[in-house]
Structure 1
Amino acid sequence: MSVDTAPRRTSRGPVLRTERALAPDLTRGAMLLIIALANVAGVVFAGEPGLDATPEGIDRGLNFLLFELVHARGYPVFAVMFGYGLVQLARRQDAAGATPRQVRSVLLRRNLWLVAFGFAHAALLYYGDFLGAYGIVGVVMTVLLLRRGEKLHRIVLVLWALMAVEVVVLGAIVTSSIAGSGGSAPLPAGHVDSLAASGYLTSIVDRLSEWPPHTLTVVPFIVIAWLGMWAARRRVLEELARHRTLLTWTAALGLGVAIAGGLPAALVSAGWLHVDKPTASLILMLHGASGMFAGPGYVAVFGLIALRVTRPGPVVGALSALGQRSLSGYLFQSVAWLLLLAPFTLSLGQRFGSPTVSGVLIAATVWLVTVLIARLLDKRGQAGPAEKVLRRLTYGPRT
């Protein structure tokens, strides 16, 4: 989930630490809460998206907020940051004197190891792995996009403009369909066998069959990561003041599209809007398409927050520490879901009244634990365990 951000090595030797930009780390640390909320809902209800189809009381409001701000709105942030981090890593290698061939070798090796991490993560812990897809996308971007000129990279802006048109058109279709709709169908939610498995070995078998199609499904987020690469080429998050206007417009438009496009799904999930089955499917399609815009929107918001931080306090420092160790934080969450929520372990999501409320509280608690651990590691000057392993595999042992 994170880029390499500690001192590095190239084949020519160590790379010295450069001054850090606050915004990328702050964004990753804070958005891991969104990832936790989205994933825990899926685990609790053994579905995608995680949804209580018959909410009552406070569950209605939680469903509404989850569909407006969380579901299909967290992973685009990390996709943007993944593309951004790829450029940052290449730039650090360039500054250390590595040749383009050496830089390419490092990036390919790192991303291929991410695919291996993803396979192990999915097999052992959680079907909804994104690391494998990140690795595949990273290989493609390294080979096809990293060293290309400005004209090619401008294509991504055209693609995003076309996606915005798609959301507007789809929104108009959904609005018309709602107006003529009858019935009371829930939002479509796919059942995930591994999340409902009665034993650990059975869940592994299920995940091994679920991971490949899931990974292929999310690989197209290369368009989102490409936008992050475009932003990194302009040092948007390193030079926040110079890009204040761009960040402001991106935050407003990105989150505006995501919230407006997610509103019908949020209302249906809360039981405040009743539609027929075909309309519910269209609404979920709009929800997913508009969710992509939350990626740049959230990143821009945290960029603006970082712009106002002159001296990071303990909260910002702790979130940034987690951002620097976001791969470890992400994997820690999956371990927690397996131990706390699986039917064959503690199954806490089903033990205390509302599964939705239980899931939200568990997600927030697990995320807070990762924040505290990351802060402790930061004070000791230690990287996260997953980052250490990935760095060792990518660069080899230190000399």
Structure 2
Amino acid sequence: MNSTTSSATSFNGSRGLRYPAPDVARGFMLLLIALANVGFWVAGPKGRALSTVDRTWAFMRALFIDQRAYPLFALLFGFGLATMVNRRMASGIDAYCRQLTGGLRAPSAAELDQAREQATIDARRLVRRRGLWMVLFGLLHGAFFPSEIIGTYGIVAVVFAGWFAHKHRKRQLAVCALNLLSQIVPVVLAMLFGPGGEVAASSAAGPASAAAAATGAGESVASALPWFVTNVNEWFFTALGAAFTTMILPAAFLGARLADTDLIAHPERHRGLLTLAGIGGLALGVLGALHELLVPLASAQAWAADSALIMVLGLAGGCGWLAVLALYAGGPTADNRLTGLTWLLANVGRRSMTAYLSQTVMFASIFVIAPRLTGRPLELGLAASAAVAVMVWLTTVVLCAVLERLGMPGPFEVLLRTAVARSERSRTNPFPQQVPDQRTDQLLGQPMSAPASPVLWHARVPVTPVPVGA
């Protein structure tokens, strides 16, 4: 394989073409994740005022990264789950229709409904198994990094597996509305009833907002409990809080809806709409964070609504990032090849779990293990910490490029896929294979061991996303 090109197909082989935009978006998203997470690990200089460079970086990060990276992550997670469901449904319907008809005729409407129902059950079980394994992966990761997000997405997959498989759009919309109300109502009450408004508003952000603050890696170690016990305890409440009280759930449902359109699969068909979404989404995200940033600079009055505003409009910012990245990635090429920066980002995106977990290993080595071995704490300003985060991300880019050159998927992707496949419980086939009656064969003078008739019909179920205008 050429060093600068790569096939835009999945490691899953027969599951078909893998569109580049989601992978490119995941690859870039992990840079935003690294920039957002580095604050957990680094200990800032004590008793020293922020430099101009640090203040400038903090301002830019608040406008474009904070509360944007994880909604983008959730959008892509929901998109991936729905894509997995669609592929499982397509292959399942085809297989069950063959079993019902023996492959010799087209299925009736009732048989097609039976096949679709059973394929949906299989897809739901697949999503739930994957979610359970993600929770386990998140638990182990959370012992070292309690603000990790894999477990949170696992919880979403486990709890709402049926909604993703059955595409319960109205239920998803209702949950999204309740989630938004949970952000807005406490803010309105705080503004109406005066004192304590800031506290009530901050509570609307949920437990995850506290975990997202930069706490420093040494605080858990200093606890009376073993550091890993403290971290797991913090991870448990953070994962639950983030799953149900932040914009992660609405973002995941929105990402799943996008998978049933061709907005992300074929962004070249919707350049105008995506351009508008990119500019508008990023602008709304900036608007949501702007007032809180201007309070200390302009001595303005703080709003009780600031924290909820940042979180809600942060989802718009995540959508803006996704639109911009989809436009940059484009659709599948004629020869299914990627080049240059698109190739590098897609390599990381296809191995996003490996890249994400590798960030934790590198951050822990730089900010925890190395200082303990040398006896010298590493204190960095905000801008220097961001530079370290960029270097960590670039290291994962190189790692994923090497794996791509070797034709290897990410090791943690392989581990998760294997665990999900091997944990599937065997069960009775609901539709036994239809085969010609042996007595009929004997009456026709054919040997009982005669080869099966060739398949004359296949239940072809399209998996191409539905055009937006349809």
Cα distance, 1:217 vs structure 2: 1.6
Aligned residue pairs total: 364
Contact 1:338–1:345 (CA<8 Å) still a contact in 2?
no
CA distance 1:272–1:317, shift in 2 (3 Å): same
Cα distance, 1:323 vs structure 2: 0.3
Tell me the secondary structure at the aligned position of residue 135 of structure 1: helix
CA distance 1:120–1:231, shift in 2 (3 Å): same
Look up the match of 1:298. Answer: 321
Look up the match of 1:143. Answer: 162
In structure 2, what is the Cα distance between the partners aligned to 1:105 and 1:391? 14
- Give the aligned residue type for 1:306: A
CA distance 1:23–1:386, shift in 2 (3 Å): same
Write out aligned runs for 1:127-206 (5 A).
127-148=146-167, 192=215, 195-198=218-221, 202-206=226-230
CA distance 1:207–1:193, shift in 2 (3 Å): farther
Cα distance, 1:66 vs structure 2: 1.2
Cα distance, 1:121 vs structure 2: 0.3
Tell me the secondary structure at the aligned position of residue 312 of structure 1: strand
Cα distance, 1:102 vs structure 2: 2.1
Look up the match of 2:19. Answer: 21
Q: Deviations over 1:297-327 (max 9, x none)?
A: 1111111112289663221101100000000
In structure 1, what is the Cα distance between the partners aligned to 2:80 and 2:47? 36
Contact 1:339–1:345 (CA<8 Å) still a contact in 2?
no
TM-score (norm 2): 0.68
TM-score (norm 1): 0.79
Look up the match of 2:59. Answer: 64
- Indicate whether 1:263 and 2:290 are aligned: yes
- Indicate whether 1:242 and 2:251 are aligned: no
Q: 2:123 aligns with which of 78, 87, 103?
A: 103
Q: 1:328 aligns with which of 354, 358, 368?
A: 354
In structure 2, what is the Cα distance between the partners aligned to 1:16 and 1:348? 53
Q: Deviations over 1:318-366 (max 9, x none)?
A: 11000000001110111112111128647999646x4212211110000
Contact 1:341–1:348 (CA<8 Å) still a contact in 2?
no
Look up the match of 2:78. Answer: 83
CA distance 1:19–1:205, shift in 2 (3 Å): same
Root-mean-square deviation (Å): 3.7
* Structure 1 gap ranges (5+): 9-14, 174-186
Contact 1:115–1:135 (CA<8 Å) still a contact in 2?
yes
Look up the match of 2:405. Answer: 379
CA distance 1:36–1:224, shift in 2 (3 Å): same
Write out aligned runs for 1:320-359 (5 A).
320-342=346-368, 345=372, 351=378, 354-359=380-385
Q: 1:114 aligns with which of 117, 128, 134?
A: 134
Look up the match of 1:228. Answer: 255
Moved more, 199-208 or 372-381: 199-208
Q: 2:386 aligns with which of 344, 347, 360?
A: 360
In structure 1, what is the Cα distance between the partners aligned to 2:332 and 2:373? 41
In structure 2, what is the Cα distance between the partners aligned to 1:259 and 1:239? 27
- Give the aligned residue type for 1:148: K
* Structure 2 gap ranges (5+): 1-8, 94-118, 192-208, 424-470
Q: Deviations over 1:224-252 (max 9, x none)?
A: 10011111111321122333343223212
Contact 1:37–1:364 (CA<8 Å) still a contact in 2?
yes
- Indicate whether 1:212 and 2:236 are aligned: yes
Moved more, 354-363 or 226-235: 354-363
CA distance 1:396–1:290, shift in 2 (3 Å): same
